[in-house]
Amino acid sequence: MEYIILILAGILFATAVYNLLQKQLLRIIIGTVLLSHGAHLVILTMGKLKRGQPPILDDSVTNYTDPLPQALILTSIVISFGITSLLLVLAYRTAQENKTDNMEEMRGESNE
């Protein structure tokens, strides 16, 4: 099961890099979103899902679950959502100012 998740993360990384190398701003933003989702899957896979009791100290429980991978992923999801919203606002403003979302057309002329 872990191999399937890692293969899916690899596919997400590959499509993210492909989208990051495109010329349209929206595709670049989609690439950053896919890259962060791939990172979430890798963190979840490396943390290994362990079944057991909640991490509450008790003498009768010997098998605890580790809440750290889930906490890291939750924090990463919140950060990636904030970055995505910032990039969308910047892309919208840039497209309004320059009347295009093509990165090649935004470079300007060599004499500018």
Q: Is the pLDDT of residue 50 over 80?
A: no
What per-residue confidence (pLDDT) applies to 110? Answer: 64
**pLDDT > 70 in the chain, percent:** 96
Amino acid identity, position 61: V
Number of H helices, E strands in the chain: 3, 0
Report d(CA 7, CA 43) in Å as an integer: 14
What per-residue confidence (pLDDT) applies to 111? Answer: 63
> What pLDDT digit, counting tens, does each position of 52-91 carry?
777 777 777 777 777 888 888 999 999 999 999 999 999 9
pLDDT category of residue 112 using cuts at 50, 70 and 90: low
Cβ neighbours around 107 below 10 Å, total: 9
**Which pTM does this prediction carry?**
0.80
